Structure 1
Amino acid sequence: MTRKLVENLGPGRHGDGNGLYLVVDPSGARRWIVRVVVKGQRNRKGGPLRTDFGLGGADIVTLHQARDRALEYRRMAKQGLNPRFNVKSEIPTFEEIAQQVHIDRLPTWKNAKHGQQWINTLRDYAFPKIGRMPVDSIGQPEVMMCLSPIWTEKHETARRLMQRMKTVLDVAKSKGFRSGENPVTGIKDAGVLPKVKVKPKHHNSMRWQDVPAFYADLNDRNAMAAKALMFTCLTGSRTGEVLGMRWEEIDLEARLWSCPAERMKAGDVHRVPLTDEMLAIIEPLKAMQSDYVFEGQKRHKPLSNMSMLMLLRRMKVEGVTVHGFRSSFRDWATEATNTPREVAEVSLAHTIGSNVERAYARSDLLEKRRLLMEKWSCFVTRADATVVHLPTNSGLPGK
């Protein structure tokens, strides 16, 4: 058997020789077992005592390690010692299990940044204290040792650390390296950590009344970051959604931008109606023949995530974030129009209603949102002196 075979063999029991087998479950889970005959010992029928012993999962135990352990078991059996009662199993450390969990879950994260944040929290606050400990020796005192120093000072970080430690210990138990209750669960149920009231932190936003003047200043600038920020203001989209926008996502004829699910926070495709002003920003950029609408300094690469924020700083706009323009749009929709809540929320790609409600209300209210975005564009560009005629059944007021 080779390492590649270990990774790619299909369901079944595959022999390596000398009683060592790789067992692949239909689910794809892989584990090692060794079959030995204990010298001088008999089974219930009087025959030689032949027994299978688990050596651990193939994602933790390498082929070389499995062969070494299998050899140890055979030597014991040859001496008449039952490995079940004489072998000292090797338990992986907390860090070893955590690193493997990180690798296994990488495909499930939206991007590499989220995956790196997951392991970085453990690296900074758990590994220095319990990283080298065998995973079966970690109890409530060890968990508290990691959480207590940051529970009140960095509560959000501590809460995420708690959740990630629980995941690692749950996985360790599922692989047979632990038993009993997860110590993180015990700590939560007992309420031994103090209650911390955390005030929600909101992105600083600009007053919606000030957006037109700011937009006019932006319009006098030729930098790509300015174009991206103008588009962001008009669409109410998130930074990553705008900067990652590709030409293939835009239907100029239908005046529509479809942001793919993998770039959306809610994980669903979001359709954005494009107004004349939005199209006036992006259509000239097509001449660059780039993969991305807002190309950065490197060819066929998008602008940096910090580009628009740095532009705000150069403009000396204090106390405002790029994300805050979503709030400016939402406040305008509430205070300056009679827009139904669901139309404004869907415009920001927010999830509304319960799972049952969303199962029946599947429309993304595109046409109503198109009217709202037209009205917002007119306001932002100071073109709202022009009457915007809205159907009486649109739910949105005309001028």
Structure 2
Amino acid sequence: MALYGKLTKKLVENLGAGRHGDGGGLYLVVDPSGARRWIVRVVVKGQKNKVGGPLRTDFGLGGADIVTLNQARDRALEYRRMAKQGLNPRFNAKREIPTFEEIAQQVHIDRLPTWKNPKHGQQWINTLRDYAFPKIGRMPVDSIDQPEVMMCLAPIWTEKHETARRLSQRIKVVLDVAKSKGFRSGENPVTAIKDAQVLPKVKTKPKHHKAMGWQDVPAFYADLSHRNAMAAKALMFTCLTGSRTGEVLGMRWAELDFNACLWTCPEERMKTGDAHRVPLTDEMLAIIEPLKTMQSDFVFEGQKRHRPLSNMAMLMLLRRMGVEGVTVHGFRSAFRDWVSEVANVPHEVAEKSLSHKVGNNVERAYARSDLLEKRRALMKQWSQFATSNQT
């Protein structure tokens, strides 16, 4: 006689990886990742499998974070009763299957703490909202297969290939999570589509930010230095430091060490996810030190008190100056080109000046120095060059 009720709520929450029986064919399956789901194994009376033996089948009952132990026992009992009557639960059981959108929204919420910043998290769900929810959002997640995924991907695969590629990755994640919770079975249709090479290959050329030639930087900087707008100050500082827009505009006074002539940009604003030290030259200090008198939280304050400049402010300034075909980010390229053609420094120094990661994980584990003093000499040389046309 089968022994029922072996599991408890505490065991369900704490058991390690493996299959743990409760009795009566009910099992808690704990994946190595820690995901927990319920399955029930039944033998359908009077039905045979392919080799003529009793039809013994496993059925998913949902994730343990959604389906409680008592609910799992009730559902398992329902499945056993159907099987005893000769009814295959696969075709006769009534289950509440969440929709694709419901699972996607939950995945988004669960992963909010892992996003680099709120903007990235919003972009993740927005892609699904714009291209997946209108077509498969209301469908039960267990009914989505290759044709449904193709409905989302095919219309934008060539026209908006990068968006479609990201969309496919995000659909795959949602379906994988649904499977881990017991709402799906079988291969992920996104994987199947990729492996079968159903969609055409799209050759994409990397898009580079439009940059000013390094030879033109001194004349441009001289023009910029005669402007009093805060956007001009921020753009001058951006040119000299080779930093990214968000790194500069988010800069607070607490990040600056005037005694050590150093700016430390915190990891949350860095693309690499690591804090970055920027040596401050005399030319850089000449830009920011007069701004202390504003007593703002941010170095480059925008129109609202204690708020930074808009991330479009510097680009709009370029347009007002009549500088076409150049982006703010492109000044990083101008700096890098100047380093390659003029400055006589090692590759690692140039790349670390732009806060690029150098080498593989093993190499970075041993080369932990950020080469600050060598970068300080390089930034001094660049600042002197960029300001050489000033009068």
**Band the TM-score falls in, shorter-chain normalisation:** 0.7 to 0.9
The answer for the alignment partner of 2:299 in structure 1 is 293
Alignment: residue pair count: 347
Q: Which amino acid aligns with 2:140?
A: P
Structure-2 change in CA distance of 1:210 and 1:32 (3 Å): closer
Q: Which runs of 4+ in 1 moved over 2 A?
A: 10-14, 27-33, 53-61, 69-77, 79-87
Preserved CA contact (<8 Å) 1:240 1:263: yes
Partner residue of 2:5?
none
Q: How does 1:97-246 map to 2 (within 5 A)?
A: 97-246=103-252
Query: Residue type of the partner of 1:117?
Result: Q
Partner of 1:272: 278
Q: Within 2, Cα distance between the matches of 1:75 and 1:190?
A: 40
How far does the alpha carbon of each residue in 1:333-360 deviate from its partner, in whole angstroms, 9 at most, with x for none? Answer: 1111222111111100011111111111
SS at match of 1:124: helix
2:375 counterpart residue number: 369
Amino acid at match of 2:344: N
Equivalent in 298, 306, 311 of residue 312 of structure 2: 306
Task: Describe the SS at the equivalent of 2:263.
Answer: strand
Amino acid across the alignment from 1:184 = V
Instruction: Give the alignment's TM-score, normalised by structure 2.
Output: 0.80
Matched, 1:329 2:335: yes
Distance 1:28 1:157 in 2: 29
Give the 3 Å change call, closer, same or farther, for CA 271–74 of structure 1 in structure 2. Answer: closer
| TM-score (norm: length of structure 1) | 0.79
Mean Cα deviation higher: 103-112 or 82-91: 82-91
C-alpha distance after superposition, 1:150-206 (max 9, x if no partner): 111110001000111111111111111111111111111111111110000000000
Report the CA distance between 1:88 and its aligned residue.
1.2
Q: State which drifts further: 228-237 or 141-150.
A: 141-150
Percentage identity across paired residues of the two chains: 76
Deviations 1:6-60 (A, max 9, x none): xxxx95569xxxxxxxx9x9x9979798xxxxxxxxxxxxxxxxxxx98644765
Measure, in 1, the Cα distance between the counterparts of 2:60 and 2:196. Answer: 35
Check 1:57–1:101 CA distance in 2 against 1; reply closer, same or farther (3 A cut): same
**Change beyond 3 A, Cα 1:331–1:31:** closer
CA distance in 2, matches of 1:148, 1:130: 14
d(CA) in 2 for partners of 1:307 and 1:190?
A: 47
Over aligned residues, Cα RMSD in angstroms?
A: 3.1
Please tell me the residue identity of whatever aligns with 2:192. G
Q: Deviations over 1:319-378 (max 9, x none)?
A: 000000000000001111222111111100011111111111111110010000000000
Unaligned stretches of 5+ residues in structure 1: 1-9, 15-22, 34-52, 385-399
By how many angstroms is 1:87 displaced? Answer: 3.7
SS in 1 for 2:300: coil
Contact 1:59 1:100 (8 Å CA) reproduced? no
Letter in 2 for 1:142: E
For the 8 Å contact 2:103–2:174, the answer to whether it is kept is yes
